[in-house]
Amino acid sequence: MNQVLEVFVKVVEEQNFSKAAKQLHMTQPAVSQHIRSLETEMGVQLLERTNKYVRMNKAGEIVYHHAKEITELYEKMQHLVEDLSSQAAGKLSIGASYTFGEYILPGIIAKLKDSYPNIKAAVTIANTAVIAELVANHQLDIGVVEGRFKEKSELKTEIFAEDQMVIFASLNNPLTQSKKAITIDQLAAQPWILREDGSGTREAAENVFQQYNFHPENIMEFSSNQSIKTMVEAGDGISLLSEWAIQKELHSGDLKVLDVKGMPHLREFAIVTNSPFQTKALAIFIDLLRSNRKLKKTHDVRKRKK
């Protein structure tokens, strides 16, 4: 790989020539020479330098974005070639949306670690839109998401399981005490505690509102499932989350699923990748996802019910 790009990326990330030189096992003058060489080649200054800081200008941001992508692709190429004559090993960058990443992925990673200790998994958890973008930019080897995202031609998507979404409330909410069927007017009148735009869970909630032809007037947004559960437990409203996300609270009796006609709402988990080639580590991880018994059991049960 072009060492100049590697040096530039390191200087940007360390925001310091001396620290970058130490990380790269180079002298500071050598690092400075690489940066000057790149700026000469680009025909423009890329970094603003003072005695206190080193930071990118607009041109530097463009070069950094593409240099980072090039370094990621180069590393992936090395792994693919090495895989031809070696056992599964090396870094595997995994992204997951919050529901899957927080409640399902840890068990799969534990199994991966036990069976393939030389595979070093690095996990990023964010909403669906962010994970899809990171995969598209080659910053992640694979993403596991729920819901739709902005389609990109380079991405390959594979649906592999289903998820069950439920409406729930705390035990002191009047809706959990009612012995009568819950009406749409009652749901619409409740404060709703929801995930932010861009998350698959928020998309599912919007789909439910459309299904029942209403939209709550009182919505509060949180960027984590745990915050939503805490708010609902405190009696501040109702919400819709994956049943995976509230299993412990249902078991302990802190939360209760509301009996709403037409629920639960089903959505799909999808694998997102961005290369026709797979390292052994990535292929193994995808096989673990496809063969996960808990997910497969849920998927098969839903299929039979349809």
Whether the per-residue pLDDT at 26 is higher than 60: the answer is yes
> Any idea which residue has 């505690």 for tokens?
193
Mean pLDDT for the stretch of residues 165-177: 93
Rounded Cα distance, 167 and 238, in Å: 7
Which residues have CB under 8 Å from 285's CB, separation 6+?
Answer: 92, 94, 108, 112, 119, 121, 142
Q: Which of 7-11, 42-46, 52-56, 174-178 has the lowest mean pLDDT?
A: 52-56
According to DSSP, residue 97 is labeled -
pTM, 2 dp: 0.66
Q: Which two tokens stand for residue 165?
A: 């979404």
Mean pLDDT for the stretch of residues 95-107: 94
Whether the per-residue pLDDT at 1 is higher than 70: the answer is no
> Any idea which residue has 């998820």 for tokens?
163
Coil, strand, or helix at residue 173?
coil
What pLDDT, in 10s, does the model give residues 181-212? 899 999 999 999 999 998 889 999 999 999 99
What type of residue is 12? V
CB–CB of 262/211 below 8 Å? yes
Q: With bands split at pLDDT 50, 70 and 90, how would you rate the model's confidence at 298?
A: very low
What pLDDT, in 10s, does the model give residues 217-234? 899 999 999 999 999 999
> Any idea which residue has 């509301």 for tokens?
258
Q: Which two tokens stand for residue 80?
A: 């693919």
Mean pLDDT for the stretch of residues 235-259: 94
Highest mean pLDDT among 48-52, 147-151, 217-221: 217-221
